[in-house]
A and B are shown apart, each in its own frame.
Chain A
Amino acid sequence: MVPRKEDQRWKDIITGKINHQFKTVSAGMCLTRIKRNLGKDANEDTVSKAVEEIYLFFVKFENILQDDIKILFN
């Protein structure tokens, strides 16, 4: 089950505080791109948009991210 967007763990994932090795290639690439862009410009607005992006990605692909979701959120 994907936690709510307000869950602190989303922010921890995009900032690298939670460091997870994804099995799904799109997840790893998406997160890497998010982190690269935050590395260039991290502020409240960009972090918020990044959380929204990774959250929506997980919501859409929840079925194929089951193994990652279990590790990250359970």
Chain B
Amino acid sequence: MLKNIDELIKDINAGKKFFIAGDEQLLKKLPRGSWIAGTIPYFMDAAGGVITREKVFALEVPSCAGTVKVSSYDERSLSSIPADSPENGFSLVIVPALSGVHVSYAQNAPDFPGLFMKNILGWISGVHLEDLGKVSPKVFCGSTGEVFDNKAVAMHCSLPKDKTAVIGIINLFEQGAGDTITFDKTGFSANDCMINGKKQNFSEYLLKNKIDTRLPLVADYCGSMVNVSFQSVDKDKRMVNFYAPVFTEVEYKIAKPVADYVSAFTKAISGLQTTSAFSCNCILNFLYSELEGKKTPGMTGPITFGEIAYQLLNQTLVYLEIRDAK
């Protein structure tokens, strides 16, 4: 929930543990304690989507959590996040956008040893869009007081035997009925691609077919729809840039449009019988679906520059459930 900074300072000093998101100038005021944070001024609150530099979003670590350990990771040590994650529990990771660790996590996480054997979720920290290019996104390690724009932070939380963590996603985008698109290089940009098996320049394809690039590429990961969002189409350089990497050996399609995000979202969560212990949603959903002032009931949290459910996602809501273990 959104909190005044003074209120949060008191809570941290009282020994409470938090996942925090907020403006950098507010986060710098926080005392040392058991918390991690990332910069962002966009939030989904219970009252609706909001942009603020006056309050922070602070979610208390679930009361059933046992051991809580905070660690930071550079590009070389990122791959040890799963190994550091508890056997029964979860790890919440925050990665600063536009950094080497962001690129490294995005491209390499699927191959981190043991990634899918642990519950790894999180988000990519950002800045107010007015500050893009002027201020770097950051993450905070509350236990040491360190601030990083080139390292990730993680809070590893163990759970007792009678509890289990489950990570879910809500992705309203489905594959459209159009062309199948593949890439021969993994990366955040592409010149050429294969359209239904035939090589074409991707920027020319998008422009010629008047593709709405607010719609992401969608890949079917054996039942889970995974998006790659468009950042820009450069006609002169004949290059397309993405907010997540495209991978080789994966088939993509342009998404079907979603007419009414809020209605579609409400329908999607109506079948869930859960209160999330954490959730985050993508800033592109916030902007394109005009979520400021609108609600996504039951799912509140930071609005982010990318989401993590094991690997990096785009235009997706990620949530954590703590269930009773059967």
Which parts of A1-38 form the interface with B (CB within 8 Å)?
20-33, 35-37
Secondary structure at the A interface, as helix, strand, loop or mixed, is helix
- Interface residue count on the A side (C-beta < 8 Å): 24
In the complex the two chains form, is A31's CB within 8 Å of B222's CB? yes
At the interface, yes or no: B73 with Cβ under 8 Å from chain A? no
In the complex the two chains form, is A63's CB within 8 Å of B164's CB? yes
Stretch at the interface among B109-117, B130-138, B235-243: B109-117
Q: Which of B117, B169, B248, B249 contacts A25 (CB 8 A)?
A: B169
Closest to B250 in A: A36
Secondary structure at the B interface, as helix, strand, loop or mixed, is mixed
Question: How many CB-defined contacts (below 8 Å) exist between A and B?
Answer: 66
At the interface, yes or no: B94 with Cβ under 8 Å from chain A? no
Residues A30 and B250 in contact in the complex (CB < 8 Å), given A25-B168, A25-B224, A63-B325:
no
In the complex the two chains form, is B117's CB within 8 Å of A32's CB? no
Greatest chain A CB density within 10 A among B166, B224, B326 is at B224
Q: Which of B117, B119, B222, B326 contacts A22 (CB 8 A)?
A: B222
In the complex the two chains form, is A63's CB within 8 Å of B226's CB? no
Contact residues in B for A30 (Cβ distance below 8 Å) = 116
In the complex the two chains form, is B117's CB within 8 Å of A60's CB? yes
In the complex the two chains form, is A36's CB within 8 Å of B247's CB? yes
In the complex the two chains form, is A21's CB within 8 Å of B223's CB? yes
Docked pose: A40 CA to B164 CA in angstroms: 34
Which parts of B232-279 form the interface with A (CB within 8 Å)?
247-250
How far in angstroms is the closest Cβ of chain B from A33?
A: 5
Docked pose: A29 CA to B120 CA in angstroms: 13
In the complex the two chains form, is A36's CB within 8 Å of B116's CB? no
Closest to B111 in A: A33
In the complex the two chains form, is B326's CB within 8 Å of A63's CB? yes
In the complex the two chains form, is B223's CB within 8 Å of A22's CB? yes
Contact residues in A for B164 (Cβ distance below 8 Å) = 63-64
In the complex the two chains form, is B325's CB within 8 Å of A32's CB? no
How far in angstroms is the closest Cβ of chain A from B306?
A: 16
In the complex the two chains form, is A28's CB within 8 Å of B224's CB? yes
Q: Which of B111, B117, B167, B223 contacts A57 (CB 8 A)?
A: B117
Residues A29 and B249 in contact in the complex (CB < 8 Å), given A57-B117, A63-B325:
no
At the interface, yes or no: B228 with Cβ under 8 Å from chain A? no
At the interface, yes or no: B310 with Cβ under 8 Å from chain A? yes
Contact residues in B for A28 (Cβ distance below 8 Å) = 221-224
Closest to B171 in A: A25
Docked pose: A25 CA to B311 CA in angstroms: 11
Contact residues in B for A36 (Cβ distance below 8 Å) = 110, 247-250
Contact residues in A for B248 (Cβ distance below 8 Å) = 36
Greatest chain B CB density within 10 A among A23, A25, A36 is at A25
Q: Which residues of A come within 8 Å of B, CB atoms?
A: 20-33, 35-37, 39-40, 56-57, 60, 63-64
Q: Which residues of B come within 8 Å of A, CB atoms?
A: 110-111, 116-117, 119, 164, 166-169, 221-224, 226, 247-250, 309-311, 323, 325-326
| Complex A-B, nearest 8 residue pairs according to Cβ-Cβ distance, in ascending order | A21-B223, A28-B224, A30-B116, A28-B222, A22-B223, A32-B221, A28-B221, A36-B249
